[in-house]
Structure 1
Amino acid sequence: MLGPFSIDTPFPAFKAMGADLGATTEQMQLVVSAYLVAFGLMSPFHGPLSDALGRRRVILAGVAVYAVASIGCALSPSLPVLLAFRVLQGLSAGGGVIVSRTVIRDVFEGPQAQRLMSRVMMIFAVAPAVAPIVGGLLLQVGTWPVVFYFMAGVGLLLIVLVALLLPETHPPARRLPFRFGSLVGSLGQVARAGAFHRVAWAAGLSFAGQFLYIGSAPIFVVDLLGKGELDFWMFFVPMIGGVMLGSFLSGRAAGRISPSRLVTAALLFSMAGALVNVVLGTLPTAATLPWAVIGPALIAVGTAAAYPTLQLVLLDMFPASRGAAVSMFTFFTLILNGVSAFALAPFATRSVFSLAVVSAVFVAAGLGSWLLHLVSARREPHMAPDGADTLQPGEQV
């Protein structure tokens, strides 16, 4: 939950932070982008480090630095200083967010892994719904720095829980050599695989259609819908409800529907939801509830149903270096989301309709990348990992 919690908890405080730090609404979007881009830039290294040093060490070190960075955010006297500590938050948060997915695949495989990944997706979905509500409540008892002090407390709690409850799932006998060349080599192996790119972009682009709303939530909820700092739940609860429904469907489908069919059906559903969202954006009721949140919730159902299986497909392409695979995947996703939150949000958020159109373009691009992958796999079924999507999760292990 640490990744989305770090993004969404400060949203209700953006207005107060901007007034206190002398920043405009557009400049405050940098608070999101700085975290996401830093997370993305560091994400290629957390997984390989855990392949070499063990999962537990990397998680503990990353969350410890995250807690210190959160305190730095709370004490920041200016926007540049705040952004510097947000970068440090992004650089460290992946130690928990990325490596935890690799832990699942260390222990489970096949339908069982898919079901657990779906459950994790449901837990992941709770954070964006709870975080802005918590942020709004914290502002009732203190000024905006209290939000970051709370995030530091979450980090300290996670350190205690990991230290006491999480066993090491990647023993020394299975670890890769801790050499820079080996770490870069494992990343290069992943990056050179055409199938990896097709599946990673399918997941990243389709999720970007949903994340565009999450990253633009302060503008969407406050400026476009005219709501207040305690009203973020009106947007996040329907969207996260969609994520939880999609995750539930993904878990129920494990072992019953082939991965490729599940992903295809889920992404087609997301595309249908995106088109419904565009149509609703043309109506006079576009900026009113519940019409403004129906489309994003439908997109979330399809994205959440596809995402766990797409992650397992990527992990199974590289059984010897799963950390590198999940790191490269996270790198693509976070960089895409960070750039879109900064570069596209100011244009996309001019109206509810423009936001819906840009979201639909992302979803369509993700669906197109997946369909391209299916076509390529049929043409080259003998090639690994290009044919991995046609296998059940775990079949290559």
Structure 2
Amino acid sequence: MLILGGLSAFAPLSIDMYLPALPRMADDLHSSAPTLQLTLTAFIIGLALGQLIAGPLSDSLGRRRPLLAGLALYAVASVLCAVSPTAELLVAGRAVQALGAAAGMVIARACVRDLFAGTAMTKFFSMLMLVSGLAPILAPVIGGQVLRLTSWRGVFVVLAVFGALLLVAAALAMPETLPAQRRRPARIGSTLRGYAGLLRDRSFVGYALSAGLMFAGLFAYISASSFVLQELYGLSPQEYSLVFGANGLGIVIAGQVNGRIVGRVAERTLLTVGLCASAAGGIGVLVAAVAGLPLPVLLVPLLVMVSSIGLVMPNASSLALAEHPHNAGAASALLGVMQFVVGGLATPLVSLGDEASAVPMGAVMASFAVVALLVFGTLTRRRG
């Protein structure tokens, strides 16, 4: 569980840890805020592409070999990010870093599907939220403390060390969860047909796309909150880290509540509650931003929306993967791709708005959260 949780934590660690440093990075690299936000977009796109490759490979070669290769790539790319002299090279380094992180994330979900089914799978995904959910709590706090001791480059050194340690742990203690008799040949044609079959599955697309749209609202918060809360509301990097960590704690609490009550309450019902909470929170953030309400009023709906991840992700992942035990790697990859490709749309949309206002962040968060709820209700609705 600890190793799989660490693998699942790659995205929040790699994204959240350097968020407090974004304003300083813009000054140090003589770049603009929108350009630095591209480091987030590049990472998200790299995650999507990497999962498309790593998922089918893990169905063919087993889980261990692609996992170890991805972890090694992540550690090396993190070092390259730490020494990047320009914003453009940093963007490129982040894309490569994401390719390595993608292998860990997609294979972690596939391993869970190899080992569990039904409510047990949902419970384990919820349990992983306790480990991976700590990442958004600890990452900005660690990032803020690293900034006290060194520059933003030290953040990427810490990520490189994390990747190297996880590589050693996986090499020594991670068993192979996909027996040879269950592996599928790695052929481009069969891989494409497998993806096409998944895309024809209306329920799978509904669960994956609704989670992806909800993620887009979350990424709008991730990419814009550093500038909004520090430059508009005057928080220090350390204060911003505490706010970000409190929202991460909300994810952990919601995930653990989900794990305790799933089985007594259906996964679909819990997913509906999570998506409704996300939509309500997003609308609340938009209203607070438009009305220019004080920071505490803005933070309440923000907490509601971010915390709903703890309800949405375990149930959406379990429901999406439930009917695909024989190509869990490909299904896990497509689930992740929909999350991060759709999520990646949020960053450029936020940057199109006025940098001196929280309205663009609130508008994007609210829009994606509402659409996620509508897509879920439409595509996963049981037929007559």
TM-score class, shorter: over 0.9
CA contact (8 A) 2:141 2:245 kept: no
Q: Which of 89, 99, 122 is equivalent to 2:107?
A: 99
Percent identical among aligned pairs is 31
Instruction: Flag the 1:186–1:350 CA change in 2: closer, same or farther, 3 A.
Output: farther
Report the counterpart of residue 3 of structure 2 in structure 1: none
How many residues are matched?
376
CA contact (8 A) 1:277 1:295 kept: yes
Report the counterpart of residue 302 of structure 1 in structure 2: 308
For structure 2, list consecutive stretches of 5 or more residues without a partner in the other structure: 1-8
Report the counterpart of residue 97 of structure 2 in structure 1: 89
Report the counterpart of residue 372 of structure 1 in structure 2: 378
**Equivalent residues in 2 for 1:127-146, closer than 5 Å:** 127-146=135-154
The alignment's C-alpha RMSD in Å is 1.8
CA contact (8 A) 1:349 1:355 kept: no
Report the more deviating stretch, 226-235 or 292-301.
226-235
For structure 1, list consecutive stretches of 5 or more residues without a partner in the other structure: 380-397
CA contact (8 A) 1:67 1:156 kept: yes
Q: Which of 325, 334, 341 is equivalent to 2:340?
A: 334
Report the counterpart of residue 65 of structure 2 in structure 1: 57
Partner-residue secondary structure (3-state), 1:255 = coil
Aligned equivalents of 1:70, 1:355: Cα separation in 2: 28
CA contact (8 A) 2:350 2:361 kept: no
Q: Which of 198, 207, 210 is equivalent to 2:215?
A: 207
Structure 1 residue 211: Cα displacement: 2.6
Does structure 1 residue 226 correspond to structure 2 residue 210? no
Does structure 1 residue 78 correspond to structure 2 residue 107? no
Instruction: Flag the 1:310–1:145 CA change in 2: closer, same or farther, 3 A.
Output: same
Please give the per-residue CA displacement for 1:238-279, whole angstroms capped at 9, x wherever unaligned. 311221122122101221112222212222222233333333
Report the counterpart of residue 315 of structure 1 in structure 2: 321
Aligned equivalents of 1:269, 1:16: Cα separation in 2: 34
Structure 1 residue 12: Cα displacement: 2.2
**Equivalent residues in 2 for 1:234-383, closer than 5 Å:** 234-286=242-294, 288=295, 290-347=296-353, 350-375=356-381, 377-379=382-384
Aligned equivalents of 1:125, 1:346: Cα separation in 2: 30
CA contact (8 A) 1:70 1:152 kept: yes
Aligned equivalents of 1:368, 1:101: Cα separation in 2: 26
CA contact (8 A) 1:187 1:328 kept: yes
The residue identity in structure 2 corresponding to 1:252 is R
TM-score by length of structure 1 reads: 0.90
Q: Which runs of 4+ in 1 moved over 6 A?
A: none
Report the counterpart of residue 32 of structure 1 in structure 2: 40
Structure 1 residue 346: Cα displacement: 3.8
The residue identity in structure 2 corresponding to 1:258 is A
Partner-residue secondary structure (3-state), 1:23 = coil
Aligned equivalents of 2:70, 2:325: Cα separation in 1: 24
Does structure 1 residue 67 correspond to structure 2 residue 72? no
The residue identity in structure 2 corresponding to 1:80 is E
Partner-residue secondary structure (3-state), 2:237 = coil
Structure 1 residue 210: Cα displacement: 2.4
Please give the per-residue CA displacement for 1:86-136, whole angstroms capped at 9, x wherever unaligned. 110111111111110111111112222111101212322221221121112
The residue identity in structure 2 corresponding to 1:273 is G
Please give the per-residue CA displacement for 1:127-183, whole angstroms capped at 9, x wherever unaligned. 122112111211222222211111110010000111111111011111001222222
